[in-house]
Structure formats: structure tokens, C-alpha cells
Amino acid sequence: MKLYIKYDINQACRVIIQEQLEKFNIKYQLLDLGEIEFKDVISNETYAELRDALDRYGIELLDNQKSQLIQRIKDTIVEMVYEKDKLPTSTISSYLSDKLNLSYGYISNIFSENTYTSIENYIIMQKIERAKKLIIEDGLTLTEVSYKLNYSSVAHLSGQFKKTTGLTPSMFKRIVDKRRGNIKE
């Protein structure tokens, strides 16, 4: 028997982090995505134990400013692509600059130097992942997906989808539908 699960990765991480912080009796406040403020100073030993406990779930505490900035860039992009009903109509560079309060040139250089990909490629990957979810889970048409993700046309969405996944959106949907049709209860 196969079981299909739908989950919100951000919510799952949030709950894990809250449980671990409470386990160590750490007073905290969850801020934006990926940010926690400790209300009191914690010992190096407690910090190390917390880091190890979170590492078990694939959650990493970021100690240096460059890693923190890269994660903030990724989180801002994910928030933009997944948590908005429709992507902003402003340019991506303006959106990121405004959200992070840094120049886009600086953000872009730091990101590409450390991830070996451009912000634009990272956004495309996130948009295609969101497109898959909208097609599969929400049953949206390609026209609706294209509108939600600010593509200029369905052809543009289809082209990026195929370039990224190797499949057209319709082939992708047929494969998913076929696999789901083979589920025996």
C-alpha cells in the first residue's frame, strides 16, 4: 500500500524548531522565515546540543553572516514564490533589494559566488516546483498557473518547465495521473 502525503515544509520545520527550543527551555521568538531571536543568552554547551538536535532533522544553525544572507535570499525567494497568491509585478531585483535592504548587485554576487548558480536560475527552479504543485494538488490549468507565476505566456511557462524537468507540463500531469490511477485500495 502506498500513502500519499501533503505537507507544508515550512510549518513542519517551525514545529520541529519550537519543540527543540522548548525541550532545552530556551526562551525565544520566531521572527521571519528562518529567523529566531533568543530572549536570553544561552551557553555554548546548550547551543551545541541544540545544533546537534536540529541537525538530526536536516536543520542547520547558520553561524556566519554570508551563510545567513544566502539563506535569507533563498527564504525571500521561496516566500515570494510560494506564499503569495500571485507573484509581485515589480522586478525581482527591486523586490529582493527592498525585502533585504541591500543592493541587488551585492545580493546577486554573494548568491552566485556561494551557490554556483544565479538568483534567476534559483527563482526558475522554485517557480517550476510551484507550478508542479499547482498542477497536481490544485488542479489548475496551465493558463492559471502561468498567470499566478507571472509568466508572459503559457508557452514561456511550458518552455521553462521542459528545460528544467525534461517534460512538458502536460506530459508531467499525464505521468502523475497515470501513477495515481495505479493505486490499489
- Predicted confidence at residue 184, as pLDDT, reads 45
Locus of grid cell 505537507? 7
pLDDT of residue 158: 94
Task: Give span(s): CATH 1.10.10.60, the chain.
Answer: 122-181
E strand residue ranges, 3-76: 28-30, 36-38
Per-residue confidence (pLDDT) for residue 183, from 0 to 100: 45
Amino acid at 28: Y
User: Mind listing the pLDDT tens digit for each residue in 56-87?
Assistant: 999 888 888 888 899 889 988 988 888 766 67
Residue 34's pLDDT is what? Answer: 73
pLDDT at residue 179, as a whole number: 81
What are the pLDDT digits (tens) for 148-185?
898 989 999 999 999 999 999 989 988 888 887 754 44
CATH code of domain 122-181: 1.10.10.60
Residue pLDDT, tens place only, 26-62:
998 888 767 888 888 889 999 999 999 999 999 888 8
Name residues whose C-beta falls within 8 Å of residue 59's C-beta, 6 or more positions apart in sequence.
13, 16, 17
Percentage of the chain beyond pLDDT 70 is: 94
Summarize pLDDT for 92-146 with one digit per residue, the tens. 888 899 989 999 999 999 999 989 999 999 999 999 999 999 988 888 889 999 9
Contacts of 108 (CB under 8 A, 6+ apart): 93, 118, 119
What is the signed CA dihedral for 7, 11, 17, 20, rounded to 10 degrees? -60
